[in-house]
A and B are shown apart, each in its own frame.
Chain A
C-alpha cells in the first residue's frame, strides 16, 4: 500500500502491530484520529504511556492492578483455595461466574518450549512458594488451564511440583456446554465427559 505521507505510514505500521488489526483498519484508525481534535489523540497517547509506566502486578498473585497488593488481601475472600489461571482475562471470567470467592494465581502463560516459554518464564515457582509459605492454610489448588496439550503439560508439571506439599490439586471439569445439544458436541469432548461422568443427585 502507498501512503500519502511518511508520518501516516509510521502510525499505520505501529497500529497494525496490534492483534486483530490489519493495514487497512490501521489506516482507517490513523485517519480517524487526524479528524478528531488534537487533544483526543494526546489523551490517548498519554493514557497508553501511563498504562505502561504505572501498571503494577500484584506481588502475590500476579494479577494486573494499581497497587502491588491487590484484592487478594481482602479479608472477605476464602484464603484456603487458589485458582491457577494463565492470564488476567481468565481471572475476570471466573470472577464473573459468581461461583468462586477464593484466591487466584496468574501464571502469565503456559509451558511451551516451542514458543520459548519454559517453566521459568511462567510464575510456577512463586505458586509453590506461596503454598509452602501459607503453612497449611491453603487446602486446595484448582487448575483452570486451557484444554490443550500445552495446558495439560503445565497442569501435570504443577501437580508434580506441588506433590511434596500435600495440598489437594483439582482441575476444572470438561464437558458439554450448558444449553448444548449432545449430538453437536465433538467426539473428544463427549468421550471425555462420559469417562469423567459425575453422580447425579436428585435431592
Chain B
C-alpha cells in the first residue's frame, strides 16, 4: 500500500498543500512547529478517521477558517484508491472512498491500516494498565469484530453494575438477584475476552522479540506477560467471593477490566528498571511488531508513520533502526519526521529510495 499524492486544505497549520510522495522512505525535515507532525496526523486521519493528537475535530481546522479537507490518492494492490475527508464546523464529518460516502466511519478503519509511532508512546510503559489494555485491545479489535463487540458489551454491563453498587451505598442487604443478572452476563464475557487476549499475546510475542533483537542486539531478553485473574481455574469462585468487597467499595474489583500486561527485560520490569532508551526501544519494537502482525493478517503493508523516532536513541540504535527500516521487502512506504535535518541525512546517506522534504510554515520543499 502506498500514498501517491496528498492535498491538505485548512488542516491545522496547512493552508493549501499539494504533494506527491514516493514509495520507500519519505523523510520530513524542518524546525519545530513547522507542521511535520501535522502531516503525519493527516495520514493517520485518513487511516483511522480521526486525529491522533486532538480528537476534537473543530480544533483541527486552521484558526479562522470554517472547514478542513484532506484529499489523497493511494495505491492498494495496484488499484487506485481516492480517499477524501471533509469536515465543516458543526456538521457531520464526511469520508469518501473513490467518490462514495462511507456510511459508518468505523467500517473504514482497517481499510488503510497504519501504525504511528510518536514520542508519547512510552506512556504504554509508564502509565497505568488502562493504556496497555487500550493499545492491545485496539490491535485485536482492528481485525476481530466479535472481540470489539464483547468489549463494548462488557463495558456497558460494568457501568450498570457499578452504578447499581453506587446507588446501594455500601449496604450489605443488596438486591442479590439483580447483581446475579449482571454477573451472569459478565462472567462469560470476561472468559471470552481473557481467552482472546491470552491467545493474542502468544501470537504477538514472536513478532515482538524479533523486532527488539533487531534494534538491540542479543544482550537482553524482552518479554510480555499477560496478567489476569480471569484465566485462573477458580475465577468464578474468586469473583463470587469478593462480592462483599464489591458492595463496600461500590465497584467491580475483579474481572477482565482489571487485566494488565507486564513488560520485562531479563525478567526485570521495564517500567521500573528500564532506561529511557530501553523504554523507547521497547515501545518501538512493540509498534513494529504491531506492523508485522497487521501485515500478516491483512495481507497488505500498513503505512508506517514515525514521529521523531530518533530522539533519545544512541547512534548505534539509530543505525540499526535505519538498516531495519530500509528493508524494502518489509516496508513499502514510510514517513519519518526529524527536526534535525543533518542527522537524518547522515544516517540515510547512501541508502536508495530515500526522499527528503523540507517543511517550512506549512509549505513543502
Residues on A close to B: CB < 8 A?
Answer: 111-114, 116, 118-119, 149-150, 152-153, 156-157, 160-161
Given contacts A113-B164, A118-B164, 12 further A-B contacts (CB under 8 A): A113-B163, A114-B160, A114-B163, A118-B178, A149-B153, A149-B157, A149-B185, A153-B181, A156-B185, A157-B181, A160-B177, A161-B177
The answer to whether A113 and B160 have CB atoms under 8 Å apart is yes
Cα A150 to Cα B160 in complex, Å, equals: 9
CB distance from B178 to the nearest CB of A (A): 5
A21 CA / B184 CA spacing, docked (Å)? 40
Q: How far is the CB of B159 from chain A (nearest CB, A)?
A: 6
Q: Is the CB of B160 within 8 A of A112?
A: yes
> Which residue of A is nearest B163, CB measured?
A113
**B238 contacts A by Cβ under 8 Å:** no
Which residue of B160, B166, B167, B175 is within 8 Å of A153 (Cβ)? B160
Provide 18 A-B residue pairs closer than 8 Å at the C-beta atoms, listed in order of the A residue: A113-B160, A113-B163, A113-B166, A113-B167, A114-B159, A114-B163, A116-B167, A118-B167, A118-B178, A149-B153, A149-B156, A153-B181, A153-B182, A157-B177, A157-B178, A157-B181, A160-B177, A160-B180
Q: Which residues of B contact A (CB under 8 A)?
A: 153, 156-157, 159-161, 163-164, 166-167, 175, 177-178, 180-182, 184-185
CA distance A118 to B163 in the complex (A): 10
Q: Which residues of A contact B153 (CB under 8 A)?
A: 149
List residues of chain A with CB within 8 A of the CB of B161: 113
Give bound CA distance, A106 to B157, whole Å: 24
B156 contacts A156, C-beta separation under 8 Å:
no
Residues in A neighbouring B184, C-beta threshold 8 A: 156
Distance of B291 from chain A, by nearest CB (Å) = 29
A-B pairs, 7 with minimum CB distance: A113-B163, A113-B164, A156-B181, A114-B163, A160-B177, A157-B181, A119-B178
| CB-defined contacts of B181 to chain A, threshold 8 Å | 153, 156-157, 160
Residue pair A119, B185 in contact (C-beta under 8 Å): no
Measured in the bound complex, the distance between the Cα atoms of B157 and A111 in whole Å is: 12
Among A150, A157, A161, max chain B CB count under 10 A is at A157
**Which residue of A has the minimal Cβ distance to B152?**
A149
CB distance from A56 to the nearest CB of B (A): 29
Residues of A within 8 A of B180 (CB): 160
B319 → A minimal CB distance (Å): 49
What is the CA–CA distance of A119 and B160 in the complex, to the nearest angstrom? 12
**Assembly CA distance A157 to B176 (angstroms):** 10
Q: How far is the CA of A152 from the CA of B185 in the complex (A)?
A: 10
- Assembled-state Cα–Cα distance A112/B157 (Å): 10
Contacts of A116 in B (CB 8 A): 167
Bound-state CA distance A157–B180 (Å) is 9
Q: Please, how many angstroms separate the alpha-carbon atoms of A113 and B167 in the complex? A: 8
Cβ–Cβ < 8 Å partners of A112 in chain B: 160
User: Of residues B153, B159, B166, B177, which shows the largest number of chain A Cβ atoms within 10 Å of its Cβ?
Assistant: B177
Residue of B nearest to A188 (CB): B149
A113 to B184, CA, bound (A): 17
A120 to chain B, nearest CB (A): 8
A161: nearest chain-B partner, CB-CB: B177
A114 neighbours in B (Cβ, 8 Å):
159-160, 163
Question: Within the assembled complex, what's the spacing in Å between the Cα atoms of A112 and B153?
Answer: 14
Chain B residues in 8 Å Cβ range of A156: 181, 184-185
- A160→B179 CA distance, assembly (Å): 11
**Shortest distance from the beta carbon of B147 to any chain A beta carbon, whole Å:** 15
Residues of A within 8 A of B178 (CB): 111, 118-119, 153, 157
**What residue in chain B is nearest A187 (Cβ atoms)?**
B145
Chain A residues in 8 Å Cβ range of B157: 149
Give chain A nearest CB distance to B153 CB in angstroms.
7
In the complex the two chains form, what is the Cα distance from A156 to B184 in whole Å? 10
Rounded to whole angstroms, the CA-CA distance of A160 and B167 in the bound complex is: 21
Flag if A153 contacts B177 (CB, 8 Å).
no
A161 to B182 Cα, complex, angstroms: 14
Residues on B with C-beta less than 8 A from A160 are: 177, 180-181
In the complex the two chains form, is B159's CB within 8 Å of A153's CB?
no
CA distance A133 to B159 in the complex (A): 36
Report the bound CA distance from A180 to B166 in whole Å. 43
- A112 to B161: give the CA distance in the assembly, Å: 9
The interface residues of chain B lying within 8 Å CB-to-CB of A150 are 160
Question: A156–B177 Cα gap in the complex (Å)?
Answer: 9
Closest Cβ neighbor of A152 among chain B residues: B185
CA gap between A150 and B159 in the complex, in Å: 11
A161 to B175 Cα, complex, angstroms: 11
Report Cα–Cα, A202/B159, bound state, in Å: 47
Query: What is the bound-complex CA distance between A113 and B157, given in angstroms?
Result: 10
Whether B177 contacts A118 by the Cβ 8 Å rule is no
How distant is the Cα of A118 from the Cα of B185 in the complex, in angstroms?
A: 17
**With the chains together, A160 CA to B185 CA distance in Å?**
14
- A118-B175, A160-B177 known; A153 vs B163 contact (CB < 8 Å): no
Task: Name A111's closest neighbour in chain B (CB-CB).
Answer: B178
A161 to B184, CA, bound (A): 15
- Measured in the bound complex, the distance between the Cα atoms of B178 and A161 in whole Å is 10
Closest A residue by C-beta to B176:
A160
Q: Which of A113, A149, A152, A157 has the most CB of B within 10 A?
A: A113
